[in-house]
């Protein structure tokens, strides 16, 4: 469904109800689409532990203190 800005401001509650039911609403200015209202995903996608295995390596010194010259840059 496409609506103009005035209609979107006037009927925002009604449009949000339609979006919540799965409909997409495009808001147009002078007949040109400028925004789209879509429902927010109810449940974020489940993260799978270890799914990035092998894509990068954490160096052994990852938790070591920063060298003094780099640490000093934070206090300038």
Q: What is the pLDDT of residues 19-50, one digit of tens each?
A: 999 999 999 999 999 999 999 877 777 889 99
* The pLDDT of residue 16 is above 80: yes
Q: What is the pTM of this model?
A: 0.54
Radius of gyration of the chain (CA): 24
For residue 25, the model assigns a pLDDT of 97
Q: Quick one: which of 72, 67, 6, 8 has its CA closest to 37?
A: 8
Q: Which domains does the chain have, with CATH numbers?
A: 1-40 (3.40.1620.10)
14 C-beta neighbours (distance < 10 Å), count: 11
Q: Which pLDDT does position 54 carry in this prediction?
A: 92
Distance between CA atoms of 49 and 12, rounded to whole angstroms? 40
């Amino acid at each position: 469904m496409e609506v103009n800005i005035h209609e979107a401001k006037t009927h925002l509650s009604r449009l949000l109800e339609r979006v919540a039911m799965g409909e997409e609403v495009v808001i147009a200015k002078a007949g040109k689409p400028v925004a789209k209202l879509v429902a927010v995903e109810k449940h974020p996608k489940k993260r799978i532990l270890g799914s990035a295995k092998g894509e990068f390596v954490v160096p052994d010194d990852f938790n070591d203190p920063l060298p003094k010259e780099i640490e000093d840059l934070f206090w300038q």
